[in-house]
Chain A
Amino acid sequence: MKLKKLQAFFLFALFLTPGILVAQTAEEIIAKHIEAHGGAEKWEKIEALKIKGRFTAFSLEKDFTSYKTKCGAYYSDLYLGEQHVFEGFNGKCGWTIDPWQEIEYARNINSSETNVFKQKAEFFTPFLNYKKKGHKVEYLGKDNVDGEEMFVLKLTREDGKSEKWYLNTKTYLEYKCEAPWVDFAQPVPAEMYFDDFREVDGIIVPFFIERTFWQRDRITQIESIELNPKIDKSLFAMPKRKEISKLAFMEGDWDVKLEFMGRRGTYRERGTTQSCIKFASTNMLQEQISYENGFPNNLSINFTYDAGTKKYRIAAFNDFTSTFDMFQGELKDNILVMEDTHVSYSDKPNAARMCRQFTYTKIDNNQFTVENKVSTDEGKTWKPQARLTYTRKVEDSLSKK
C-alpha cells in the first residue's frame, strides 16, 4: 500500500513537472546533435576557425574569408554583389564597412545587427556550450520540413532574441533555422538551410549554407576550414578612418616644452608641461593639455577629418576662455596647418578680428612641434606667438620602439 502511494506521489510529481521532462528531452537531442558534429571533446580543443570559400549575393559569386574565435569574436572579408564588405565583432560590439549603405568607413552596428553578428560568430551550431553562453533552449516537438521529420528547438539568446532550429531526427544535424536577420541594417526574419556536411579533422561542418530573407538569397559555400589558425586580434577592432590615421603620430603621452614669443622677437622658454593624446573614436583624436601663461589654461583639443570638405578639423575647448574654438586645415608634405580664417562666429564683418594658425611640423614618431601664429589681416601675414615641442615620454618611446 505504501509503495502504491509512493508510486502515485511520484507520478503526480512528474505530472506537475513537465518542464523537467521537456528539458531532459531537449538535452538529449542537443547531446546527440553535438555528437553528430564530432563531439564536445573535439570542439573543446578548438580556439578559432579560419574559413575560406565562395559567397553569393545578388547572384554574383565571390571569395570570402572569415575568422571566428571561441570567445565569440568574428571577422569577415566578403563581397555583397560587386561591393567589398568588411565586418568585425569582438563578442560584444561590432562594426561594418558596407559601401551598399554609401558609407565608406567603419561604422558601429546597431542592436539588430549585433544579434546577427552573434549568430555569425558561432562555431556553426549555437548549441555547443549553450548554457555557458547564456542561451536557453526549449523543445517544441517534431515537424515535417521538405518531407523530412525534424526536431524543433527554440533557442533564446541572452539578449532575448530567439531562433527556431530544425534538426533532422535521423542525423541530428541542423537542416533549417529561422532567425532574426538584417537587410540594410533593418530587422527582417530569415530562413537558413544547411547542407553538404563534411568532416574537418574530426568535426562535422555544413559546407553549404543558404540564407533567404525578404527576397534576398545568400549562399555560403565553404572550401576550406583551418582549425586554430594564428589570428591578429586587431582584426576584430573597428578600423580607424584612413585620413585620421595619418595623425596617429600624435597618439601617446608627451613631455611638452613651452616657448612664447618675447618682445625682442625671439622665443623664450616658459617651462614644460604634459600632454596625453589618444583616439576617442575611429575618427577623433583627443588631446588633454594644461599650461600656464599668466593664467592656467586647460585645453581639450579634438581632431577629426571631414570627408565632405576633405579637411581636418579641430574643436578646442579652453576652460580659461570657457569657449570652443574651431580650426580647419590640411596635411601636406608631413606638415599639418590648421587655422580659423574660414571660421566666422559673427554675422557682421569684424576688421579687427584676430585669426590664429597652428602648424604641426618636424613630425616623426617621437617628436613634433606646434607653432602658434596670429594674423590681423585675415591670414595674409602671420606673426609667431608660441611654440610647443612635443617629445614622447621615455616609457612610451621605448614601447614604440
Chain B
Amino acid sequence: MKKTNLLFTICALLFSALLNHAHSQEVSNQEWNQFRGANRSGSADNVELTSFTDKEPKLVWKKKLGDGFSELTISGGNIYTMISERKDSITGDEFIAAFDEKTGDEVWRTKVDNMFFDTFGDGPRSTPAIGEKNVYSLSSYGKLSANSKKDGKTLWQVDFMKEYGSKIPRWGFSSSPVIVGNNVIVEVGGTDSRAFMAFDKKTGKEVWKKGEGIATYNSPVHGKINDKECIIFANGRKVYSLTTAGDTLWTYNSPISNPTGMPIVFDGNKIFISAVRNPGFIVLEVNNNKAKEISRGTSMKNDYSSSIYHDGYVYGFHVAALQCISVKTGEKKWTKRGYGKGSLIRIGNQLLVLSDKGKLIQVKATPEAYTELGNIQAINGKSWTAPSFANGKIYLRNLTEMACYELK
C-alpha cells in the first residue's frame, strides 16, 4: 500500500469516526418523538445551553393552535400533535395534525374523533407516538389511530369504548401510546383483562392483552430493569411490569393512587412514582422480579406534571412548588414558588421550566440551591403542556397556541 493510500485510508476512517460521533449526538437530540421525549424521561443529554441572560432565546415562530394539552412531538422536520376545533358551542372535531417544524405552518390534519369539551380546558390530553412512517394517537373518546406521517391518511383505527368496553375517564382518555418493536402499546382500560394492550403497528390488530383496571391518566414506560426489557404501567393502585410480549414479570400493590406523572426508572432497578394524594411518592426497588418499596415521602406530590430524575435527585412540581428532593432520603433540597402548576424538562445540566402562565425559566439542575439562569415570557395563558426539545429549539404549547424558540 502506498503511503498516500494509507494516509487517505486513515483520514477517511478518522473522518468517518468523527461523522459517526457527531451523528450519534445529533440523533439523540434531533427528535422528540413521543410523550416526554427519549425514554419518556423528559430529558436530552449531550447538550449545553447558553445562559438566557447571555443569549436570550430567539422566537422563531408563534402560531394559533386548536385547543388541547397534547405535547408537541418532533420528527423528520415536522411537529405532530393533537388539537381540537369547535364547530359551535357544543360540537367540534378532534384531529391529529402535522406542522412544519421550521415555520409552524400546518401540513395536514385528519379528524380522529369528536371534540372533548371541559370547563378546565377543551381538547385532547394524550400525546401521539411517532414511528418511522406513521403516527399513533389516542383520542379523548378512546380511539387509537394510525396515520401516515406524510399526508395524515388514516391507516387503521380501534375504538376502545366500542370494542373493549372501556369507559371514558373524567378528563378523557389521556394516556400516551408507546411504540415497542412492531407494536403500539397503550392503556386501554377495557373489560375482561384488557387494561393494557398491544396492537400491530401495521394493521391495528390485537397482539396481546393483560391486566384489570379502568383507563387512567398514566402512560406506560418502556425501559430496562435489571437489564431486562419491560413495560411499566401504574394503573389505579397497582404497578405492573410486563415483558414486551405481554407476560407479567411482577406486580406491586401501591399506596400511590392514580398517578398522572410518568413513573421514572433509574439506577437500573429503581422506580420513582408520585401522585398528588398522600403519601406523595414511593421508590420501588426490583430484584429477581420482585418489587419492594424502599422509601416514601410527602416532599414530592406530582399532579399532572411529571418529574425529572438527575444524578440522585428528583426535580419536579410538588403540587405548585418547583422542588428538588433527594431520591434516596426524600429530603427537600430547595423550593421555588410562583410558577403555579408548571412543567419541566432537563436539557444537559439545566432545567427548562414552563410556568403555568407561559414563563420559560432556565434553572441549574443542581441540588445545591435554586439557581435561575434567566427567564422569558415565552407564551401567555394557561400553559399545562410540558415543553419539547429538538435540534437546539424548544417547542411550547398553551391551550390555544404554540411557539418555537431557538436556544443555541
Contact = CB atoms under 8 A, between A and B. Distances in A.
Interface of A: 56, 58-61, 81-82, 146-147, 193, 195, 208, 210, 212, 214-215, 217, 219
B338 A59 contact: no
Contacts of A210: 320, 337-338
A214 B319 CA distance: 8
A219 B340 contact: yes
Contacts of A208: 338
B337 A59 contact: no
B111 interface: no
Contact of A59 (B119, B319, B383): B383
Contacts of B332: 146
Nearest to B318: A212
A59 B340 contact: yes
Nearest to A59: B356
Nearest to B260: A215
A56 B303 contact: no
B196 interface: no
Nearest to B302: A215
A61 B340 CA distance: 11
Given A56-B340, A217-B340, A81 B320 contact: no
Contacts of B321: 212
B303 A59 contact: no
B341 interface: yes
B384 A59 contact: yes
A244 B381 CA distance: 39
B310 interface: no
Interface in B353-381: 356-357, 381
Given A215-B276, A217-B320, A217-B340, A59 B335 contact: no
Nearest to A191: B319
A215 B356 CA distance: 14
Given A58-B120, A58-B382, A217 B335 contact: no
A212 B357 contact: no
Contacts of B320: 210, 212, 217
Given A58-B120, A212-B321, A217-B341, 8 more contacts: A59-B340, A59-B341, A146-B332, A195-B337, A212-B320, A217-B356, A219-B338, A219-B340
A215 B334 CA distance: 20
Interface of B: 119-120, 276, 301, 303, 319-321, 332, 334-335, 337-338, 340-341, 356-357, 381-384
A201 to B, nearest CB: 26
Contacts of B337: 193, 195, 210
Contacts of A60: 381-382
A56 B338 contact: no
21 contacts: A58-B120, A59-B340, A59-B382, A59-B383, A59-B384, A61-B357, A81-B120, A146-B332, A193-B337, A195-B338, A208-B338, A210-B337, A214-B276, A215-B276, A215-B301, A215-B319, A215-B341, A217-B320, A217-B340, A217-B341, A217-B356
A82 B121 CA distance: 10
B319 A212 contact: yes
B120 to A, nearest CB: 6
Contacts of B119: 81-82
A146 B120 contact: no
A146 B357 CA distance: 24
Nearest to A99: B119
Contacts of B384: 59
Contacts of A212: 319-321
Contacts of B340: 56, 59, 217, 219
B46 to A, nearest CB: 33
* Max chain A Cβ within 10 angstroms of own Cβ: one of B276, B303, B320, B383: B320
Given A210-B337, A212-B320, A56 B382 contact: no
A120 B120 CA distance: 25
B182 to A, nearest CB: 38
Nearest to B317: A217
A2 B338 CA distance: 63
A166 to B, nearest CB: 14
B383 to A, nearest CB: 7
A2 to B, nearest CB: 56
Q: Which of A60, A82, A193 has the most chain B CB atoms inside 10 A of its CB?
A: A60
A155 to B, nearest CB: 23
A210 B321 CA distance: 10
B123 to A, nearest CB: 15
Contacts of A59: 340-341, 356-357, 382-384
Closest 6 CB pairs of A and B: A217-B320, A59-B356, A215-B276, A59-B382, A215-B303, A146-B335
Nearest to A210: B337
B322 to A, nearest CB: 12
Nearest to A193: B337
A123 to B, nearest CB: 23
A219 B320 CA distance: 10
A59 B383 CA distance: 8
Contacts of A82: 119
Nearest to A83: B119
A81 B319 CA distance: 18
A223 to B, nearest CB: 16
Nearest to B356: A59
Nearest to A57: B340
Contacts of A195: 337-338
Nearest to B398: A59
A82 B332 CA distance: 34
B271 to A, nearest CB: 22
Contacts of B319: 212, 215, 217
Nearest to B384: A59
Which of A147, A195, A214, A215 counts the most B-chain CB atoms under 10 A from its CB?
Answer: A215
A208 B338 CA distance: 9
From A82, A208, A217, A219, residue with most partner B Cβ within 10 Å: A217
A60 to B, nearest CB: 6
A274 to B, nearest CB: 51
Nearest to B358: A59
Nearest to B341: A217
A227 B76 CA distance: 60
Given A81-B120, A215-B303, A217-B320, A56 B357 contact: yes
A56 B276 CA distance: 20
A219 B340 CA distance: 8
A184 to B, nearest CB: 13
B170 to A, nearest CB: 13
B331 to A, nearest CB: 12
A67 to B, nearest CB: 26
Contacts of B338: 195, 208, 210, 219
A270 B119 CA distance: 60
A284 to B, nearest CB: 31
Nearest to B276: A215
A217 B384 CA distance: 13
A233 to B, nearest CB: 34
B338 to A, nearest CB: 7
Contacts of A219: 338, 340
A323 B335 CA distance: 67
Contacts of A61: 357
A38 B186 CA distance: 59
A365 B320 CA distance: 54
A311 B321 CA distance: 49
A60 B398 CA distance: 12
